[in-house]
């Protein structure tokens, strides 16, 4: 796995973990907070209700005080008057009313359901399974207290939670109470809860969104980085490859020169010394000894052989006469060997190119001719070198069968390492390299911009001109 | 000295390898009608040495540091048109021979030629006839069908580059240490080879071909 991908993966995992942690943490915090809020709100609302109930009870007690205070323990008239007053105290629509039971659970006042008056509800169990009336009476006797229980709500005819306060009228043994239904409290709490939930959902969404977009950005940046890096690496590899080729050519040129200008010249001088020896012997009327003849022959062979090696390493003609003539020599040699006719067009000027461009284009011709010889089945080849419109253009064209593998511009793997190599080398000189092929033949085109060599000739000449002066 | 050669042929050897020069001298010293009057090892020295020893024939190597034998040949022929130049080189391809002829050489032999043949070549060239080594002559025959491209010689190309940088014939003559007439001759040759008849075109051509940079 490439390094950049590992970093990318690490970053993505980091983001996912952070997002997950934040998500869980925030959600928990929100839940706790909302539960607290709701609880606080609820106790506040309940407290309000309790205060309200107590106030109602006080009002009710005040409204019966004038009768109750002066009435006797068994004053049935007074009791009826009080019961009447309490049945008329209605608030909150129909849901706020007073109820009265005696301490044995017999109903005395129940304005919403007057038919229940006189019946005993001591054993009545509510939906929670508690004896409602007993608890209310118990609370009343203990000096008044609140009780929450499920109860039928008159306005909606449904069982709703009810909060009641009951007080005791000790003289008559009456439990007097009133209650509020908590449905609106529950509604308020619900709406608060749903507001909080909505908020939580929003936060979750934001966290998810941020996480997702972070991952996306990481991937995008990573990918861009990866590709720029790859491009950079490719470029460096190309440059390195070119450097190696250049070094190799330089080295070959160097060895070739050493052989041609050093060793061969020494051998030539030995050859003439041997000849001089022969002449000396002849003058002295001594027959030329056989080993001397043998040495001369061997020496000639050695010279030929070393020259062949030297030429193979680096064509010396390229340095001495320039690309045009080197190309021509190559073409002639090719033509003689393969019987494929070669026509060469070349510019009137010579030695315009620096060594590296020279050898590159020379290798293009060499490689192309080799390909033609091996694959093209051609009978004719044109080599054309010309400077047109700011470009030095080298074209090698044949009338062979073409290259079936390629019919597009870019040299592909199929065209072989040699050709790819050439393309790289040409591009190194800011040039262009192109192979087109059809059934009528192949053409290899290498172009070098004039700016790559424009000043070379004059620079080359300057030291010589000044020396001549 | 044999009486049948009243004045021996004065020759000069130009080769950057003293050993080769010595070897050849040793061989040629057996021929009485040849007199080695001078030697030098660099193309840039040739003109001065020639002025000093006035040879009839110069044996000229091609590959030499600073200035190669072909350029040196042209320079000698400018100053001493009567001096014969016999190229004496390691290079075997027809291109070298053709360039040598364009530069004004009278003959071409390879460096590993037997001294007997070298002697024959010197004599032939001194008599004003061309001489090409047996294998060279063979090569020229097989290549004779190629049309002689109107190519500039090294010297002409140098003159063209100076014309293109705006130098007058006089200035060029001074720079190259030749007469104005020679420069004018080069100028005519260049124009006729390139089929161009005015200066502006000439400059444009030199820039277009990348010979000089547009200033």
Looking at residue B179, which CATH number applies to its domain?
1.10.10.10
- In the predicted model, is pLDDT for residue A203 greater than 80? yes
- Which tens digits make up the pLDDT trace of A428-456? 888 889 888 888 888 899 999 988 887 78
Question: What's the average model confidence in pLDDT over A110-137?
Answer: 88
Most confident among A14-18, A225-229, A419-423, B9-13 (mean pLDDT): B9-13
CB contact under 8 A, B175 and A461: no
Q: A residues 424-463 near B, CB within 8 Å? A: 450, 453-458, 461, 463
Examine residue B95 and state whether it is found in any structural domain, yes or no.
Answer: yes
pLDDT the model gives residue B87: 93
Residue-level pLDDT at A412: 47
| Distance, CA of A415 to CA of A21 (rounded, Å) | 56
Please give the C-alpha separations between residue A426 and each of A27, A84, A411, A444, in angstroms, as whole numbers: 64, 116, 13, 12
Q: Which of B91, B110, B142 is the last residue of a domain?
A: B142
Q: Could you check whether A3-188 and A319-468 share the same CATH topology?
A: no
CB-CB under 8 Å, A457 with B161:
yes
User: 0.80 cut: is pTM over it?
Assistant: no
Q: What is the CATH number of the domain that holds B42?
A: 3.40.50.2300
Domain residues for the domain of B91 are 9-142
Exposure pattern of A105-136 as b/e (b: 16+ CB <10 Å)?
A: bbbbbbbeeeeeeeeebeeeebeeeebbbbbb
Given CB atoms, is A350 within the 8 Å cutoff of chain B? yes
Q: Do the chains contact at A325 and B44, CB–CB below 8 Å?
A: no
Looking at the fold, whether B97 and B175 belong to one and the same domain comes out as no
Complex-level ipTM beyond the 0.95 threshold: no
Looking at residue A468, its pLDDT comes to 45
Residues B103, B49 share a domain: yes
Reply yes or no on domain A319-468 having CATH 3.90.1070.10: no
Q: Is the domain of B165 the same as that of B106?
A: no
Domain over A3-188 is classified CATH 3.30.450.20: yes
**In the predicted model, is pLDDT for residue B147 greater than 70?**
no
With respect to residue B181, please indicate whether it lies within any of the assigned structural domains: yes
Residue A11 sits at φ, ψ, to 5 deg, of -60, -45
Where residue B143 falls among pLDDT bands split at 50, 70, 90? low
With respect to residue B84, please indicate whether it lies within any of the assigned structural domains.
yes
| B138 shares its domain with B158 | no
User: Per-residue pLDDT for A124 more than 90?
Assistant: no
Residues of A in contact with B24 (CB under 8 A): 272
Q: Are residues B86 and B59 in the same domain?
A: yes
| B182 shares a domain with B93 | no
Q: Are residue B17 and residue B84 in the same domain, yes or no?
A: yes
Mutate to test the interface with B, among A268, A273, A305, A448 (most CBs of B within 10 A): A268
pLDDT value at position A20? 87
Number of domains in chain B: 2
> Which whole number is the average pLDDT over A67-73?
85
B177 and B127, same domain (yes or no): no
In this structure, are B57 and B135 located in the same domain? yes
Residue-averaged pLDDT of chain A: 85
Whether the CA torsion A361, A365, A371, A376 is positive or negative: it is positive
Q: Say which residue, A170 or B6, is predicted with more confidence.
A: A170
- The pLDDT value recorded for residue A241 is 81
Q: How confident is the model at residue A465 (pLDDT cuts 50, 70, 90)?
A: low
Same domain? For B102 and B196 the reply is no
Mark whether B17 and B99 lie in a shared domain.
yes
Domain-located, residue B58 = yes
Mean pLDDT value of segment A207-224: 86
A90 pLDDT above the threshold of 90: no
A341-372: per-residue pLDDT in tens?
898 888 888 888 888 888 989 999 998 998 88
Q: Round to whole Å and give the CA distance between A398 and A377.
A: 9
Q: Which of B119, B142, B165 is the last residue of a domain?
A: B142
Query: Does the beta carbon of A69 lie under 8 angstroms from any beta carbon of chain B?
Result: no
Domain boundaries, chain A: 3-188, 319-468
Which one is predicted more confidently, A254 or B137? Answer: A254
Residue B30 sits in the same domain as residue B104: yes
CB proximity list for A248: less than 8 A, separation 6 or greater? none
Q: Is residue B68 part of a domain?
A: yes
Alpha-carbon A49 to chain mean position: 59
CB pairs under 8 A between A and B: 156
End-to-end CA distance of chain B: 62
The reply to whether B116 falls in a domain is yes
Dist. CA B114–CA B93, nearest whole Å: 19
The C-alpha atoms of residue A85 and residue B188 are separated, in whole angstroms, by 143
Question: What integer pLDDT is reported at residue A15 of this predicted model?
Answer: 83
- The pLDDT confidence band at residue A306, using thresholds 50, 70 and 90, is very high
- Whether residue A324 contacts residue A385, with contact meaning beta carbons closer than 8 Å, is answered with yes
């Amino acid at each position: 796995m490439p390094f950049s991908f590992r970093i990318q993966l690490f970053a993505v995992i980091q983001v996912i973990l952070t997002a997950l942690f934040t998500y869980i943490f925030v959600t928990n915090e929100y839940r706790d907070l909302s539960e607290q809020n709701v609880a606080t709100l609820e106790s506040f609302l309940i407290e309000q209700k309790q205060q309200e109930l107590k106030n109602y009870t006080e009002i009710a007690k005040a409204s019966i005080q004038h009768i109750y205070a002066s009435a006797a323990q068994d004053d049935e008239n007074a009791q009826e008057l009080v019961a009447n007053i309490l049945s008329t105290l209605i608030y909150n629509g129909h849901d706020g009313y007073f109820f009265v039971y005696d301490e044995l659970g017999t109903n005395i006042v129940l304005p919403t359901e007057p038919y229940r008056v006189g019946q005993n509800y001591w054993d009545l169990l509510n939906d929670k399974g508690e004896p409602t009336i007993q608890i209310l009476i118990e609370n009343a006797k203990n000096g008044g207290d609140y009780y929450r229980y499920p109860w039928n709500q008159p306005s909606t005819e449904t069982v709703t939670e009810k909060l009641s306060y009951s007080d005791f009228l000790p003289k008559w043994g009456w439990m007097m109470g009133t209650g509020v239904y908590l449905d609106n409290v529950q509604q308020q709490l619900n709406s608060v809860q749903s507001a909080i939930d909505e908020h939580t959902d929003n936060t979750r969404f934001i966290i998810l969104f941020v996480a997702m977009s972070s991952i996306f950005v990481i991937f995008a940046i990573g990918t861009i980085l990866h590709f720029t890096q790859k491009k950079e690496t490719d470029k460096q590899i190309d440059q390195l490859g070119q450097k190696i080729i250049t070094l190799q050519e330089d080295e070959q040129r160097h060895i070739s020169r050493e052989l041609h200008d050093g060793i061969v010249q020494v051998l030539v001088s030995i050859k003439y010394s041997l000849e001089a020896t022969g002449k000396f012997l002849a003058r002295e009327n001594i027959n030329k000894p056989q080993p001397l003849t043998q040495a001369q022959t061997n020496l000639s062979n050695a010279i030929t052989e070393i020259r062949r090696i030297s030429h193979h390493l680096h064509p010396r003609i390229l340095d001495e006469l320039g690309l045009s003539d080197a190309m021509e020599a190559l073409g002639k040699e090719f033509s003689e060997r393969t019987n494929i006719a070669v026509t060469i067009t070349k510019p009137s000027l010579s030695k315009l190119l620096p060594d590296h461009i020279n050898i590159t284009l020379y290798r293009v011709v060499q490689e192309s001719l080799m390909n033609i010889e091996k694959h093209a089945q051609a009978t004719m080849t044109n080599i054309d070198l010309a400077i047109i419109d700011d470009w030095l253009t080298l074209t090698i064209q044949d009338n062979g069968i073409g290259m079936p593998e390629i019919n597009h511009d870019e040299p592909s793997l199929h065209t072989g390492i040699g050709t790819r190599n050439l393309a790289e080398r040409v591009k190194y000189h800011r040039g262009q390299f192109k192979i087109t092929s059809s059934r009528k033949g192949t053409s290899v085109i290498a172009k070098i911009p004039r700016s790559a060599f424009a000043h070379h000739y004059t620079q080359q000449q300057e030291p010589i001109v000044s020396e001549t002066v | 000295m044999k009486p049948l050669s009243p004045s021996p042929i004065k020759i000069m050897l130009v080769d950057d390898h003293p050993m080769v020069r010595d070897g050849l001298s040793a061989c040629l010293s057996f021929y009485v009608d040849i007199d080695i009057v001078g030697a030098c090892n660099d193309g840039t020295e040739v003109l001065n040495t020639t002025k000093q020893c006035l040879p009839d024939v110069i044996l000229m190597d091609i590959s030499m540091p600073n200035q190669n034998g072909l350029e040196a040949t042209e320079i000698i022929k400018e100053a001493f048109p009567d001096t014969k130049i016999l190229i004496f080189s390691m290079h075997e391809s027809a291109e070298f021979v053709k360039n040598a002829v364009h530069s004004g050489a009278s003959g071409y032999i390879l460096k590993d030629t037997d001294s007997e043949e070298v002697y024959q070549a010197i004599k032939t060239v001194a008599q004003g006839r061309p001489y090409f080594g047996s294998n060279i002559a063979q090569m020229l025959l097989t290549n004779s069908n190629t049309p002689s491209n109107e190519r500039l010689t090294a010297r002409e190309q140098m003159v063209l580059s100076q014309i293109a940088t705006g130098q007058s014939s006089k200035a060029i003559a001074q720079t190259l240490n030749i007469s104005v007439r020679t420069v004018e001759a080069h100028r005519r040759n260049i124009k006729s080879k390139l089929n161009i008849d005015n200066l502006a075109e000439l400059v444009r051509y030199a820039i277009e071909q990348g010979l000089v940079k547009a200033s």
